[in-house]
Structure 1
Amino acid sequence: MAPSMLSKAFLSLWTFSSAVRAYPNGPWYQVPLGENVLGDPTRYPTADDKHVDYVVVGGGASGLTVAARLSEDPSVTVAIVEAGKCPPALDWGFDTTPQEGADGRVKHFTNAKTLGGNSAFNLMAYMATSTGALQKWADEVGDDSWTYSNVAKYFQKSLNFTGIDPSKRRLNATPELDTSHVGHGGPLDVTYANYGQPFSTWIKKAFDQAGMLPVGGFMSGDMFGSSWVLDTINHTDGKRASSSKAFLQPILGQRKNLFLYNVTLAEKVLFNDKTATGVQVSRGKTIFTLSAAHEVIITAGGLMTPQLLQVSGVGDANLLKKYNIPVVLDAPSVGQNMEDHISFGIGHKVDVQTNSALKYKDQYDEAVEEFQGQQAGLLSSPGPDFGGFADIPLDLRNFSASTKSDLASFPKDWPEAFFISFPIDMGFPTDGYNYAMLFCTLMTPMSRGTISIKSASMKDSPVINPRWLTSSTDVEIAVAAFRRVRQILQMPVLQQNIIVGSEITPGSDVKSYDEIHHYLKQNFASMSHPASTCRMGKDGDKNAVVDSKGRVLGLDHLRIADASTFPFLPPGLPLGVVYMVAEKIADDIKHARKQQHSEL
């Protein structure tokens, strides 16, 4: 596969518009990569000034969760501002600056522009994180309410878990899950797909041989081991359960105190001295104001939350003055400390059916019929469905002293890598064979990036500089993890049963440290998990932007409730942590409001 072809193929999978082009007539519109989330536009408010109690900026996983929870009280009015509209306008089209860790190339950074945010077209995996990571979180923000024992209820609160349908899912792909760690009766459906990928059943055997033994789900606070991955799939129709479908659609139009302003851009937060009073928004050429009697809550994500703060006058004063933005608060940490996960993989020809089959009309038509009739088969699966968390094994740990020191800063239950089956065709030949990959996502990123502005307008994209693979620690671990992927794929259970021929991507000639490093620079893919750009921390922490309840330090009536507040990017895939943070901060807001009323 040509240099950078893998990362381009991964990106095309990650974006809904490419999936629609690949499968124009089938259920890819519905599962797993998309849905019509906007409904009837006549239900939405006109572009006029309005006064509400809370304005929520951003209609993604966190924003819709917060808005739904606050509007449970019929006496509370809530407005949601979301720039997105219906497909294919699902992505903001952001690119990074030239990246040193990618040989100077500019890379696309996927960022959802639709109701539901990234939950409307990600790979749907739902998991918690490690107990030690959450203890570290609590320690760094000075608030024990963030320990695993205290936030487990928020991981569960959103969820409605249902088990598998054994009539549709093969018995050799039966998940093991301790259901005491998942919620029942919440708005967000989580389950296992009705189709367990055959490639993944063999990867499970290989993980067993590699020492990644079954852990019974990634919800208990223990991440080490392997498991079938829980997905946000609606158990009744097999379609994606995005935050829009789970939290918004059931109540929109039913709650007269909830107002959705979609296709509406938040231009800036408005202030009276240090107090947020509302948001200036625009729909087309019409500019109007949504005033907030209590709070403005920003949930625009790791890229656009810091951008919105900066254009509103909250950020590094020198940067703001450059664009003639009046300084409300000199906060140099806004847009700093960005973390992200990166992935890479190795591909083989395999002797089991994978999503390569969907390239052929007869097999694709059969899959469509099976999904439409039974919500089963290839199209009912998100693809990557079995994963394992582990550290790099001893025989590959030829790390420098600085890398060892960096790794020692993480809690002991924080795994270094996540390995996941990837039975999806990534631009391989159309030659009648099935292809699959084993991917690895690094869990201990040390590279830190930045988000800044290039104008005073939200209509211009932010300056995104993730600085991937600029830390020597990240490079050393990436090379070692790549070698571990290769080791796993050489396990006898795979070589003797399903792998056909030699390694396809990148090829067995990529062997030395420098060769692997070069390949990774050319081919790694961002997981689009930007976090920590408005870090949570203690008052007085120079790197903190918000306190442990998401309140922006130094300002009143302004709060943030998304991944930008993470004090660090915890191990695992972050969708579950995003929902947890939203549920917890929504509860904090409700408790504060109740306390205020009791004091009157």
Structure 2
Amino acid sequence: MLLSIHAVVVTFLGICASLSAATPLHLRDDHIGAPQDATFDYIVVGGGTTGLTVAARLSEHASVAVIEAGGYYQITYGNNSVVPLYSLTRIDAIDPSPQFPRRPEIDWELVTVPQTNAFNRTVHYAQGKTLGGSSAFNTMSYLRSTSSAYQRWASMVGDNDYTFKSLLPFFKKSVRLTPPNLEKRNSANATPEYDPSAYGDGSPLDVSWNNFVDPTLTWLAKSLQAIGIPINPKGFSSGELKGGAWLPSTIDPAHATRESSQTSFLDYADANTQIKVYPYSIAVRVLFENETATGVSVDTNGTIYTLSATKEVIVSAGVFNSPKLLMLSGIGPTEVLTSFDIPVVANLPGVGQNLQDPTSINVANFVNTPNAQSIVANPATEPEALRKYVEEAAGPYSSAAGYISYERLPDDLRQTLPPATLAKFDNFPSDFPDSQYIVGTFVMANGSSMGAISSTFTRTFSRGSVTLASADYKDNPLIDLGWFSDPADADVLIAGVKRVRQAWSSEPALTIRLGAEVLPGDTVDTDEEILSYIKNNGNQLWHASSTCSMGKAGDKSAVVDSKGRVFGVKGLRVADLSVVPYALPGHCQANAYALGEKIARDIIDAR
């Protein structure tokens, strides 16, 4: 345990006090749906990141019901999902190993089929089963993709509404930015650079910079800068992913607590609209009449009933459960549906296909510098860290993710990539970064501090799939991430490991580095050895996408059009990261919120 029993009690009381000022931990009684038949204008399946954004905006204009399988994460998972530092240290639900701790109150407990190109590993893929969805236990980083990436999206779906210029108003609409508090950060080596014009007067989602800077991260950031990856003066919200940046996070700066779609959009809707939420409820299937969605069959603790929609049903169940629900409802590949005796409403072969999941690998060393985790684990320094958090919303407990870099690999490493891999790069815009590097810190059981720099490829060439395990809605789907089914992904990761080792060999890194390399270790040297290490140890970023891909009419692989409308039926949309047609470089949280804003506007405009 990181904290003494006394500290746990004090921390809990302090957090509860701050939360009471920031957000109620319950819905208004008249906003909780009763498990019985009812009718609404719109029904949203899934109270996650995009789902609550859509629901909150629609509820400003119409009657809206939200079907959510979970409840309040603050109650079911406690401080782990509230305290920013704990997003890096205490959310055990994200353990990707097959031995992951069972947390059915917050996680769908999805496990993949064996990954045939990764030594048959099975992977636990955490997905939020709670109000707020995965925004309830992500690392809260807020950054956008590149202008060229959004242009590619627009071109793929034939709609210029997906260019960065067109999406920027939706990015701005949801976000309430608080500038960095340099006094609380107290680190001249970690002054954030950003473009204020990329933000505006939006709300209700708070985005801010950490009120503490991990000392080890400043050295690791310097190490990346020392090998030629400088700070980007615009940050990562202006359509560029080039260089490094101290990232803002979805943190309420006044209380230093997690901001999720629940604490932002749902709380806003609860206070200002007549939204109705059905917690601890499962969507059994979407109901149709003459190929028009008319509602959803719902299970709340064994009570089955129907919520009818006079206008539309919006599925926002996530990259794995949205295709599952479509297939259970008769929309998907005919051969899959008929194999489970599910009547076919629309034959859409693309449902569950095109799964793309970026993969990451760490290079780690012991270091002689303190970090946030070592400070709170030390009985001599923890009381002051706790006081700062409770009284000032500052100190190590208030901090989450910190520094990320992007780059085009230097020529010497690019030349090591196979020609076939380099040729695949030509299908992407020339300003795409090749690699992403995230710095991190850990404390070992014996108290030793470790620093890590991870590498992730930014173009995902491998493809996986999601399909049904049965016709029973209670069964999780079969998930194949398709890791390394295309060798180009591994090629880039091998180069990424070499690049990170260059950073660890720089003067700033050597200043803090202790002993020999820990991961992957000095015995892992050749490309073949690095490849084996990657396949054995690579992990997801939880940025999977594209299983209900957006596309043009007539594209047999497309599931929805550019406004999220499901092909072949009426009155049904999908609104979550499953509709993004390919894995965008960068992180996906900002995209999920902006997509929700945009789809909601599309629906409102079509009324």
TM over 0.5: yes
Deviations along 1:296-351, whole A, 9 cap, x unmatched? 00111111100000000001111111111111111111000000121111111112
Partner of 2:286: 269
Distance in 2 (CA, whole Å) between partners of 1:322 and 1:211 is 55
1:409 matches 2:433: no
Structure 1 residue 25, shift from structure 2 partner: 5.3
Q: Which one-letter code corresponds to 1:120 in the other structure?
A: A
Equivalent of residue 108 in structure 1, options 124, 127, 147: 124
Would the alpha carbon gap of residues 20 and 403 (structure 1) be closer, same or farther in structure 2, given more than 3 Å must change? farther
- Cα offset, 1:242, TM superposition: 0.4
Q: Give CA deviations for 1:129-149 in whole Å, capped at 9, x if unaligned.
A: 101111111111011111111
Matched with 1:221 is 239
Query: Which residue does 1:345 correspond to in 2?
Result: 362
Partner residue, 1:10:
none
Partner residue, 1:278: 295
Are positions 1:375 and 2:360 aligned together? Answer: no
Whether the aligned pair in 1 keeps the contact of 2:205 and 2:250 (CA below 8 Å) is yes
Quote the residue 1:48 is aligned against.
36
1:356/1:435 contact within 8 Å kept:
no
- Alpha carbons 1:81, 1:260 under 8 Å: kept: yes
Tell me what 1:83 maps to.
Answer: 69
Question: Which residue of the other structure, out of 187, 203, 228, is the alignment partner of 1:186?
Answer: 203
Distance 1:465-1:19 versus aligned 2 partners, 3 A rule: farther
Partner of 2:100: none
**CA distance in structure 1 between the partners assigned to 2:501 and 2:201 by the alignment:** 39
**Does 2:451 align with 1:433?**
no
Distance (whole Å) between structure 2 residues aligned to residue 30 and residue 547 of structure 1: 43
> Does the 8 A contact of 2:15 with 2:390 survive in 1?
no
Q: What whole-Å deviation, never above 9, does each CA across 1:85-116 have from its counterpart, x for those lacking one?
A: 24241111110001123211211011110000
- Superposition map of 1:585-600 within 5 A: 585-593=599-607
Inter-partner Cα distance in structure 2 for 1:542 and 1:159: 36
- When residues 455 and 274 of structure 1 are mapped into structure 2, their CA distance, relative to the original with a 3 A threshold, is same
Residues matched between the structures, number: 566
Q: Structure 1 residue 506: deviation in Å?
A: 2.0
Change in CA separation of 1:227 and 1:106 when aligned onto 2, cut-off 3 Å: same
Q: 1:119-130 residue pairs with structure 2 within 5 A?
A: 119-130=135-146
Instruction: From 158, 164, 172, give the equivalent of 1:142.
Output: 158
Structure 2 residue matching 1:251: 3-state secondary structure: helix
**Partner in structure 2 of residue 569 of structure 1:** 583
Q: Which amino acid aligns with 1:455?
A: S
Superposition map of 1:187-336 within 5 A: 187-215=204-232, 216-252=234-270, 254-256=272-274, 258-336=275-353
Secondary structure in 2 matching 1:423:
strand
Query: What does residue 596 of structure 1 align with?
Result: none
User: Once the 2 structures are TM-superposed, how far is the Cα of residue 456 of structure 1 from its aligned partner?
Assistant: 1.1
Paired letter, 1:82:
E
2:472 pairs with 1:472:
no
Contact kept in structure 2, 1:38 and 1:115, CA below 8 Å: no
2:525 maps to: 511
Q: Structure 2 regions of 5+ residues with no counterpart?
A: 78-104
> 1:40 Cα deviation (Å)?
5.3
Identify the range of structure 1 (169-178 vs 358-367) with the bigger mean alpha-carbon deviation.
358-367
Q: Determine the C-alpha separation between the residues in 2 that align with 1:26 and 1:133.
A: 46
**TM-score, with structure 2 as normaliser:** 0.90
Which amino acid counterpart does residue 347 of structure 1 have in structure 2?
A: A
Query: 1:57 aligned to 2:45?
Result: yes
Equivalents in 2 of 1:195, 1:138: separation in Å? 38
- 2:525 pairs with 1:530: no
**Corresponding residue of 2:102:** none
Deviation of the 1:284 alpha carbon: 0.6
Check the 8 A contact 2:252/2:258 in 1, yes or no. yes
Distance 2:202 2:171 in 1: 13
Equivalent position amino acid for 1:539 in 2: A
1:408-463 deviations in whole A, cap 9, x for unaligned? 111112112110111233xx341x43212111222111110000001112210010
Instruction: Kindly state the Cα deviation for residue 509 of structure 1 after the two structures are TM-superposed.
Output: 1.5
Where structure 1 has 5 or more consecutive residues not aligned to the other structure, the ranges are 1-16, 594-600
Question: Taking structure 1 as reference, are residues 553 and 18 closer, same or farther at Cα in structure 2, changes over 3 Å only?
Answer: farther
Are the counterparts in 1 of residues 2 and 377 from structure 2 also a CA contact under 8 Å? no
Secondary structure in 2 aligned to 1:138?
helix
> In structure 2, what is the Cα distance between the partners aligned to 1:253 and 1:151?
27
Give the Cα–Cα distance (whole angstroms) in 2 for the partners of residues 447 and 113 of structure 1.
27
Which digits, 9 at most, give the CA deviation of each residue in 1:549-586, with x for residues without a partner? 11001110000111000010111001111111111111
Q: Equivalents in 2 of 1:101, 1:116: separation in Å? A: 33
Greater shift after overlay, 244-253 or 128-137?
Answer: 244-253
CA distance in 1, matches of 2:206, 2:533: 39
> Which AA in structure 1 matches 2:210?
A
Give the match's secondary structure for 1:267: strand
Partner of 1:4: none
Q: 1:253–1:191: structure 2 CA closer, same or farther, 3 Å change rule?
A: closer
Shift of 1:484: 0.9
Percent identity over paired residues: 37
Corresponding residue to 1:552 among 566, 571, 574: 566
Kindly indicate whether the alpha-carbon contact (under 8 Å) linking 2:285 and 2:328 is maintained by their aligned counterparts in 1. yes
Give the drift of 1:217.
Answer: 1.1
Aligned CA RMSD, in angstroms, stands at 2.2
Question: Is the contact between residue 546 and residue 578 of structure 2 (CA under 8 Å) also seen in structure 1?
Answer: yes
| CA–CA distance in structure 2, aligned partners of residues 141 and 559 of structure 1 | 15
Counterparts of 2:2 and 2:486, CA distance in 1: 32
Question: 1:361 Cα shift?
Answer: 4.0
Shift of 1:204: 2.5
Task: Output one character per residue of 1:278-307: Cα deviation in whole Å (capped at 9) or x when no partner.
Answer: 000010110011100000001111111000
Change (3 A) 1:446 1:27: farther
CA distance in 2, matches of 1:557, 1:95: 32
Q: Is the 8 A contact 1:224 1:415 kept in 2?
A: yes
User: 1:393 is matched with which residue?
Assistant: 410
Code of the residue aligned with 2:111 in structure 1: it is D
Q: Secondary structure at the match of 2:182?
A: coil
Number of the residue aligned with 1:70: 58
1:39 matched residue in structure 2: 26
- CA distance in structure 2 between the aligned counterparts of 1:467 and 1:191, rounded to whole angstroms: 35
For structure 1, which segment, 367-376 or 237-246, has the greater mean C-alpha deviation from structure 2 after superposition? 367-376
1:370 Cα offset (Å): 2.1
The alignment partner of 1:100 has SS state of coil
Q: Is the 8 A contact 1:27 1:379 kept in 2?
A: no
Residue 453 of structure 1 is matched in structure 2 by 468
Residue 261 of structure 2 aligns to which amino acid in structure 1?
Answer: S
